[in-house]
């Protein structure tokens, strides 16, 4: 069956590409819907993604702004008692370009990453479609919906979200048995990232690398390497300062250099701290924000002795890493 993918991050796009290429082998077509008002600069990849060969088409929509302004635009009464219809109207007013793809979406399975309010439109407008939720990161595994919220949304006639709606038939995750909620665990299906990556043809790998501009610096074979994965913890609301974040990553840099490793730092796409400036004297190579870090799995010549992060789930997606150092939230308290 044809597929529609809806996401807002570079990881969402990367995984959608892998899945779309796999579906294409069975003559199924895919549409990619990119939510462009979440990750700055993501819209620059729309045209390269169209030329990739994985998707029938790629369309950008704005969704987070629609959700943010919904109460003000629809009024308090409609926001409480008619939220689903209010969201549907606001979303369509903001994104008339999506109407062109209505028939395709109607006849497809819909794949949503981390089903939150910014994706609710699709559950509302396509109630008879089959949906699949695809993992976002560690938050997918920990989520449990309070009964009070479930009851409230049921009474409101609004989607439950996060995989709890009956239209969501599967939850695609790398570790199904790690899902904490029994209800979601029962829907969980194995996402085999390694298989999807190894199934790509040389041409597909070449096209993906060109699409994202995989830097040749990463293929340096003259020195062993380490990579640090940052996270926008300040933006996420954690009680940590810019100076503390820089100090944490400085510790990681020091550890890697003590081992004689060349240090690369991959900034999260929503990261606001300028680590290029912060670590200029350290001669750390800062990789582009919008480079999907999983992309390096496609080149077996790119290997790292050490990988460091506080708690990014992306570290588990990296294949050619000898030692993975995931420090955990408690590290922030040091």
Query: Could you tell me which residues are beta bridge partners of residue 152?
Result: none
**Mean pLDDT score of the chain:** 93
pLDDT in tens, 233-283: 888 778 889 999 999 999 999 999 999 999 999 999 888 899 999 998 998
So where are the chain's domains? Answer: 3-198, 214-333
Q: Do strands 30-35 and 57-61 pair parallel, antiparallel, or not at all (unpaired)? A: parallel
**Which residues lie closer than 8 Å to 117 by C-beta, 6 or more apart?**
67, 87, 161
Domain 3-198 CATH (choose: 3.30.70, 3.40.50, 1.20.120, 2.30.30): 3.40.50
Least confident of 34-38, 92-96, 127-131, 140-144: 140-144
CATH match for 214-333 among 3.40.50.720, 3.40.50.300, 3.40.50.11110, 2.40.50.100 = 3.40.50.11110
Determine the Cα–Cα distance for residues 86 and 69; give it in Å rounded to an integer: 11
User: What is the share, in percent, of the chain residues with pLDDT greater than 90?
Assistant: 77
CA distance 286 to 227: 10
Residues in the chain: 334
Distance, CA of 139 to CA of 135 (rounded, Å): 8
pLDDT at position 68 is 96
For the segment 32-85, what is each residue's pLDDT rounded down to a tens digit? 999 999 999 999 999 999 999 999 999 999 999 999 999 999 999 999 899 999
Among the residue ranges 153-167, 201-215, 313-327, the one predicted with the least confidence is: 201-215
| Sign of CA pseudo-dihedral 93, 94, 96, 102 | negative
Spatial CA neighbour of 215 closest among 256, 261, 264, 273: 264
Please spell the DSSP secondary structure of 26-47, one letter per residue.
TT--EEEEEE-SSSTTGGGGHH
- Residues 191-246 have pLDDT tens digits of 999 999 999 999 999 999 889 877 666 767 678 999 999 998 888 778 889 999 99
Rounded CA-CA distance 139/67 in Å is 21
Q: Are strands 30-35 and 321-326 parallel, antiparallel or unpaired?
A: unpaired
């Amino acid at each position: 069956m044809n597929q529609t993918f809806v996401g807002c991050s570079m990881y969402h796009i990367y995984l959608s590409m892998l899945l779309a290429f796999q579906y294409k082998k069975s003559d199924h077509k895919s549409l990619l819907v990119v939510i462009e008002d979440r990750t700055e600069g993501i819209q620059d990849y729309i045209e390269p993604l169209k030329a990739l060969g994985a998707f029938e088409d790629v369309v950008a929509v704005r969704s987070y702004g629609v959700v943010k302004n919904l109460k003000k635009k629809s009024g308090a009464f409609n926001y409480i008692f008619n939220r689903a219809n209010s969201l549907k109207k606001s979303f369509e007013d903001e994104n008339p370009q999506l109407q062109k793809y209505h028939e395709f979406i109607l006849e497809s399975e819909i794949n949503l990453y981390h089903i939150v309010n910014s994706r609710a439109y699709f559950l509302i407008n396509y109630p008879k479609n089959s949906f699949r939720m695809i993992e976002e990161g560690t938050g997918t595994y920990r989520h449990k919906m309070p009964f009070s919220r479930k009851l409230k949304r049921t009474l409101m006639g609004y989607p439950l979200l996060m995989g709890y709606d009956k239209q969501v038939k599967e939850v695609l995750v790398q570790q199904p048995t790690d899902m904490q909620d029994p209800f979601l665990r029962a829907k969980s299906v194995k996402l085999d990232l390694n298989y999807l990556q190894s199934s790509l043809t040389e041409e597909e790998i070449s096209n993906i690398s060109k699409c994202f501009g995989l830097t040749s610096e990463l293929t340096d074979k003259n020195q062993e390497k380490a990579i640090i994965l940052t996270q926008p913890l300040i933006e996420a609301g954690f009680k940590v300062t810019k100076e503390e974040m820089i100090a944490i990553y400085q510790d990681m840099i020091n550890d890697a250099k003590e081992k004689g490793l060349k240090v690369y730092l991959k900034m999260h796409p929503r990261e606001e701290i300028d680590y290029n400036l912060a670590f200029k004297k350290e001669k750390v190579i800062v990789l582009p924000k919008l480079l999907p870090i999983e992309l390096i799995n496609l080149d077996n010549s790119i290997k790292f002795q050490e990988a460091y992060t506080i708690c990014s789930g992306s570290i588990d997606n990296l294949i050619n890493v000898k030692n993975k150092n995931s420090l955990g939230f408690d590290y922030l308290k040091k």
